[in-house]
Amino acid sequence: EIVCIFLGGNVPFVLRARNDSKYQLIGECYVHGVMDGEALKGIDNNDLEDFVIT
C-alpha cells in the first residue's frame, strides 16, 4: 500500500497496488505534517506521478 496526495487535494489517501499495474483506492488517512495541502507546497511538477485507480 502507498500513501498519495491527489493534485489539488488537502488530505492524503491510501492506495493498494493490484496485480494489473493499477491501484485500488482504500480511503483517506492522517499523516502528520502533510495535512491541509502542506505536502504539495513548493512541489516541482517533475516529482508528480500518474496513477490509474479502479
Only one residue has cell 495535512, namely 35
Top-confidence residue, 27 or 5: 27
Average per-residue pLDDT in the chain?
83
Beta-strand pair 13-17/23-28: antiparallel
What is the pLDDT averaged over residues 48-53?
75
